[in-house]
Structure 1
Amino acid sequence: MQEKISTLQGPMNISSFMKSNKIFLLFLWHMHQPFYKDPLSGKYVLPWVRLHGSKDYLDMVTILDEFPDIRQNINVVPSLIQQISAYVNGEADDRFLELTLKPANKLSTGDKIFMLENFFLANWDNLIKPFPRYHDLLKKRGIRVSHGDIDKSILFFSDADFTDLQVLFNLAWIDPQLRAKDHDLRALESRGANFTENDARLVIEKQIDIMKKIIPSYTDMHRKGKIELSVTPFFHPILPLLCDTDSARMGMPDVSLPSIRFRHPEDAEMQIRLAIKYFRETFGFVPEGMWPSEGAVSAETLKIIRDNGIKWIATDEAILAASLNVPVRDNKGNLVRPDILYTDYVYNDVSMFFRDHTLSDLIGFVYSSWDPEKAAHDFYNKLLMIHSSSSSGRPTVVPIILDGENAWEYYKNDGHDFLNTLYGLINNDERIECLTISEYLKNHAVKNRLEKLHSGSWISGNFSIWIGHEEDNIAWDYISRTRKDLASSRPENMNGTDEAWLHLYAAEGSDWFWWYGDDHVTDNAREFDELFRHNLMAVYKSLGKEVPDFLNIPVLKEDRGIKPLLPIRGFINPTIDGIVTSYFEWLEGTYINVKKSGGSMHKSESIISKIYYGFNADHLFIRADSKNKFSEIHDCNCITVHFVKPANYKIIGEKDSARLYRKEKDEWHATEITMPHAIADIFEVAIPFRHIGVEAGDEIAFYITTDMESRELERYPWRGNIILNAPSPDFDAMMWY
């Protein structure tokens, strides 16, 4: 490690080098949404800027008024601020907003179907159930529904039902503390039902009023020193990949790269310059800090960041460990080198802070299911443990960095009970100082110099989310081809205002790539794919050129193959009894998570949560798990396994039998063959390879559906197929080596 770190001596705050009585806690909340404006239609495709704008951005800073000694860091993405401003100025519109304001008696059948599919996109437990009427409407529509169910259910919804749905969907997405402080919103919440068109208009007006306060409140709190505002490159791109897609090889030596190498550090610089310019115009000052999109860094990007005047950045502990080639945690995730993690660094004259991955993720993904006071005390006690184990001679710096908006719908009361308790504990404890990053840097000038910087992001320390999968690589090639055509027509964009170039920069954003590949699932994947391609199409339209045919071809591949993170490690021989007989019976197989949608904003509750599979020399074994016991699920009476490769077969698993069907000339024919299966707590089936035409080494592709009376409810995975290879004759012997 001594080869990778050297010490810089500078002006010292002597007290910080005595046995420290404090730990320095750096909260950084990252505020970000994709750029939802469709450049071809001018419409905002999804409503999340408006909805998070009325639920999450304002209260995250106003809560600090109650805690005089709590100071925070708020990182903003300029493309988010631009969208907020568009709504505030009456320049943004989305279909959800249009249908909220449309009188119920004027709604078309298509409008009603859209509303029943989309106006329950909220966490059911925390945003819908607190409103009894809203929950009743959800139950009336149905908890698990297909498109066919919704087509039928609109017959049972009156105009009054749709008016209530218009109001309640938008009311639920307003922060509960802000609702409680507003007389009109309190009255609506108290009434609970029987709303009017005027009520729908009122709720939208209140949402916009809340959004109007975001930028002034951020500016005011920054000037008071309660928060520090920092910035992310304008359209949230992965800077190292803009500089050079080959940089992915540092963290993924065997990664499959796009066919066209993308290497344009000038685009990375322009995304930074545009961000700083827009930030200065909005808030009236130049930011000192930056959270690079997804914490993605490389040596080349740090030079660009430094040259544009940024003084500090933050990223993840995985980058630190890889840069030093020293693990900070053991293989169980326990922190073993707090002396390395809980300090500050400098690389290429830019100060760097590395987030505690575990503590940050506890807030982001774990504590939401806990009692909020217990969660707050647990986090606080972990901070005290850090304090008690801190060594003398250097400050103890604990960076906690996560999304500032996406976690809170998982929490009761939108996270206020948790945050109020936690901030109260910290505010009253002199051992913990919660401060801004620039404030810390002003008083602590001793740094550790990093001699090498790993190229990667906060997720796994690499770029696997945004490059390497076939879909990711196709998208990069689309950008490369479009950029080449643009550069040949307009080679320079010196001031960053050229419309065609701005459309290209929007397509360079990371959000489109987030939904390509196997890593994440959303019901809105097609909308994101269209937004990505429409931004590239807009480049050509701005140039007055014909849009090339390749941009009309979706990046999403319906026949994509999905593979698990863990390979099959050996033969299995599970007991087919519909219960987990032993933890070990499926251990050598593998599994995939099959959430119907990403996060909490689901259209319907998914039945299956995981699919396990494995094999022995003669059989393929498949298991499906559910949140509830299958024997207790009454709106699903059939689980079907569909084989696409090497031949078309399906096994329809019902309570009493699992019959094999074979497809011939586009028609399904029942065979006399039934499979050993069980449906109880879980679904299990054993399938002889010979019955589905599988030979040793063959590739097998399958998916599963849950059905009710021959009607498909859900598909798993929702797009593509699960891929595996049948074992070779020597497979089991090879697993011993």
Structure 2
Amino acid sequence: MSDKKLKLVLCWHMHQPEYRDMQSGEFKLPWTYLHVIKDYVDMVAHLEATPAAKAVVNFAPILLEQIEDYSNQVSGYLHDRIAIKDPLLAALVEPSVSADPEKRLKLLRDCRKANRERQIERYPAFRKLIDMADWIEAHQDSVNYLNAQFISDILVWYHLVWMGETVKLNDNRVKRLIEKGSGFSLHDRIEIVEIIGDLLSKVIYRYKALARKGRIELSVTPYAHPIMPLMLEIDSAREAMPGVILPAISHYPGGEERVRWHLQKGLATFRHFFGFEPQGCWPSEGSVSQRTLQVLADFGFKWAASGGNVLHNSIRACGIGEAVSVHRPFKLGSAEIACFFRDDGLSDLIGFEYSKWHADDAVADLIQHLENIADYEKQSPLVSIIMDGENAWEYFPDNGYHFLSALYKRLSEHPRIELTTFSEYLDSAAPEAGFLPKLVAGSWVYGTFSTWIGDADKNCGWDMLGDVKIAFDKAVANGNLSEQQLAVAQVQLGVCEGSDWFWWFGDYNPGEAVSDFEKQYRLNLSNLYRLLGEEPPPYLALSFTQGSGSPAMGGAMRRGNQL
């Protein structure tokens, strides 16, 4: 056994796409506030509870803006009775239930969107309501026989099961409502909104407070989460997928200008919420290319990170052998920026396997892997575990509470493992970075861009984006937009350029998720055309992709390694 210390970075990426109709301000999907009350509050609570723990927490700027909007809307309702612009959240405070059968059915469908094993089955009272809702879905002519109490109870329970485990353990209001179990009143529903408001208003500050104390490092993603390498050069997809079929557009018009806009806007948003400049950038989906790293270096970032398979592809392309340690940062050519690479195997164990294990066994297994790495490596290694900060935990018992509690405790106490951050590692007397003569463009998913381009439906999405960008450029060149109109159109274009729409296009994804995101994408594009003073093309009135698949974890996550 070696006495070398292994340095470990846990990097949690917090990200939701723009769910608002940017013209009306209405939230079309509720996932931002639901992940706040379940995941973002739990994740910060675990860090608060373990003073010796350290981590990197990365925020997509467009997520921060939505959290602020939700917080303001809930505050506006509670203080001035201003309507909330999220249908599901607003339903909690509606004095009476709509008589419209379609609205009732939609509400029941929305309240069934929870993990069956971990959220629904855990609470018999909620399971009974969901069983009834399932029956009504199969017998829709019965929906008018539902009374208001059923709707009230299923709404309250849905929000209770989405509460974080640390909230359930510490908030007496939540404890009381769970114990009550049924017969929820309007007062109870308003109390749920008050709880949600408390969580929304404090969550960003809690991360900021930990960063000020040096307990975490905060980093940033480009504003609306675009795939920067593809915007800079669509052909970069061929570097890891030589035979890929690309969209009809040979390049994204003005791609570098748009990448720089997302970075500038993202940094400004980060400063607004946290009051300082981040030193690191998790490029959207860990997507990197040689040109992307150079642009990030131009913006003064000290580090970026990507998937382990990007490094493996690059090592093979450089012909420098597979014996090169992946557990350290690398630099490319003359660029000053260091690039860290995710240990895909360890990250995927947390994301896809450990939810099936007892928490103590899972943490012991992870530590055994880390000890083996420390024994094997000749120099003190830096291991990067990088993953979504929200999507895995609903598959764990009690939202990952036992796993995360044990993880931070065991790691922070381990004599051979040192939790650190990327910037702290670079500032320490760490080994020099490795040198890469060439970087093969790719992402943290399989080391390729196959999740966002190459499929016929994904390519169709890119061609639609290319069409609206050409219309945007034409409107700007003709001077059709005032300064204020241009600023609004820039943001709307940024939303259209986000990665999430392309992620979900394709029949291998679940039908409902594909439909939700495809509708949102067409709405985003249509809104931009109208801002430019044009009628949207007729094809935007028609669905262009449908899903029928059943991927692991519902498709919200992907493995770093393809099975």
TM normalised by structure 1 equals 0.70
Distance 1:481 1:105 in 2: 43
Secondary structure of the corresponding residue to residue 237 of structure 2: helix
**Equivalent residue number for residue 549 of structure 1:** 538
Secondary structure of the corresponding residue to residue 223 of structure 2: coil
Q: Does 1:598 align with 2:540?
A: no
**Equivalent residue number for residue 297 of structure 1:** 288
As a proportion of its length, which structure holds more strand? Answer: 1
**Equivalent residue number for residue 211 of structure 1:** 200
Secondary structure of the corresponding residue to residue 210 of structure 1: helix
Distance 2:381 2:85 in 1: 47
Deviations 1:679-698 (A, max 9, x none): xxxxxxxxxxxxxxxxxxxx
Identity of matched residues, %: 35
**Equivalent residue number for residue 216 of structure 2:** 227
Contact 2:505/2:546 (<8 A) preserved: no
**Which moves more between the two structures, 528-537 or 356-365?**
528-537
Distance 1:545 1:236 in 2: 26
Distance 1:594 1:61 in 2: 31
Secondary structure of the corresponding residue to residue 526 of structure 2: helix
Distance 1:524 1:59 in 2: 25
Deviations 1:382-426 (A, max 9, x none): 1122222231xx330110000000000100011010111122211
Distance 1:26 1:597 in 2: 24
Matches within 5 A, 1:381-400: 381-391=368-378, 394-400=379-385
| CA drift at 1:496 | 11
Secondary structure of the corresponding residue to residue 92 of structure 2: helix
**Equivalent residue number for residue 119 of structure 1:** 111
**Which moves more between the two structures, 22-31 or 133-142?**
133-142
Deviations 1:486-528 (A, max 9, x none): 1111149999971112111111111000111244224132221
Q: Match of 2:452, as an amino acid?
A: W
Deviations 1:50-104 (A, max 9, x none): 1001111122122123322210000100011110010011186222112222235
Contact 2:451/2:502 (<8 A) preserved: yes
Secondary structure of the corresponding residue to residue 340 of structure 1: coil
Distance 1:28 1:501 in 2: 30
Which of structures 1 and 2 has the bigger CA Rg?
Answer: 1
| CA drift at 1:157 | 3.5
**Equivalent residue number for residue 11 of structure 2:** 28
Contact 1:54/1:174 (<8 A) preserved: yes
**Equivalent residue number for residue 643 of structure 1:** none
Distance 1:495 1:449 in 2: 45
**Equivalent residue number for residue 186 of structure 2:** 197
Contact 1:523/1:596 (<8 A) preserved: no
**Equivalent residue number for residue 130 of structure 2:** 138
**Equivalent residue number for residue 89 of structure 1:** 72
Corresponding residue to 2:421 among 433, 436, 448: 436
Q: Does 1:447 align with 2:433?
A: yes
Q: Match of 2:405, as an amino acid?
A: N
Going from structure 1 to structure 2, the CA distance change for 1:327 and 1:359 (only over 3 Å counts) comes to: farther
Contact 1:274/1:496 (<8 A) preserved: no
Distance 2:537 2:355 in 1: 47
**Equivalent residue number for residue 49 of structure 2:** 66
Secondary structure of the corresponding residue to residue 415 of structure 2: coil
Q: Does 1:422 align with 2:407?
A: yes
Corresponding residue to 1:272 among 236, 258, 263: 263
Distance 2:511 2:210 in 1: 35
Distance 2:286 2:314 in 1: 14
Deviations 1:543-588 (A, max 9, x none): 2232232332333268xxx9xxxxxxxxxxxxxxxxxxxxxxxxxx
Contact 1:465/1:519 (<8 A) preserved: no
Q: Match of 2:50, as an amino acid?
A: F
| CA drift at 1:155 | 5.3
**Equivalent residue number for residue 522 of structure 2:** 533
Going from structure 1 to structure 2, the CA distance change for 1:455 and 1:227 (only over 3 Å counts) comes to: same
Distance 1:519 1:436 in 2: 36
| CA drift at 1:140 | 2.2
**Equivalent residue number for residue 298 of structure 2:** 307
Going from structure 1 to structure 2, the CA distance change for 1:327 and 1:197 (only over 3 Å counts) comes to: farther
Contact 1:141/1:153 (<8 A) preserved: no
Deviations 1:101-122 (A, max 9, x none): 2235444322221122220111
**Equivalent residue number for residue 151 of structure 1:** 140
Corresponding residue to 2:37 among 54, 62, 68: 54
**Equivalent residue number for residue 80 of structure 1:** 63
Contact 2:26/2:86 (<8 A) preserved: yes
Distance 2:484 2:271 in 1: 15
Q: Match of 2:224, as an amino acid?
A: F
Q: Does 1:475 align with 2:431?
A: no
Distance 2:398 2:531 in 1: 46
Secondary structure of the corresponding residue to residue 208 of structure 1: helix
Going from structure 1 to structure 2, the CA distance change for 1:209 and 1:173 (only over 3 Å counts) comes to: same
Contact 2:329/2:338 (<8 A) preserved: yes
Going from structure 1 to structure 2, the CA distance change for 1:272 and 1:111 (only over 3 Å counts) comes to: same
Distance 1:177 1:597 in 2: 23
Going from structure 1 to structure 2, the CA distance change for 1:89 and 1:367 (only over 3 Å counts) comes to: same
Secondary structure of the corresponding residue to residue 554 of structure 2: coil
| CA drift at 1:598 | 2.3
| CA drift at 1:326 | 7.3
Contact 2:504/2:517 (<8 A) preserved: yes
Q: Match of 2:67, as an amino acid?
A: I
RMSD: 2.5
Q: Match of 1:528, as an amino acid?
A: F
Distance 1:58 1:116 in 2: 26
Deviations 1:325-381 (A, max 9, x none): 1799x9xxxxx84x5111221122111111110100110111111112211111122
Contact 1:521/1:596 (<8 A) preserved: no
Corresponding residue to 1:404 among 376, 386, 389: 389
**Equivalent residue number for residue 456 of structure 1:** 442
Distance 1:217 1:85 in 2: 14
- How many residues matched? 538
Secondary structure of the corresponding residue to residue 545 of structure 2: coil
TM normalised by structure 2 equals 0.90
**Equivalent residue number for residue 500 of structure 2:** 511
Secondary structure of the corresponding residue to residue 313 of structure 1: strand
Contact 2:391/2:556 (<8 A) preserved: no
**Equivalent residue number for residue 312 of structure 2:** 321
Corresponding residue to 1:373 among 360, 374, 377: 360
Secondary structure of the corresponding residue to residue 8 of structure 2: strand
Distance 1:192 1:132 in 2: 9
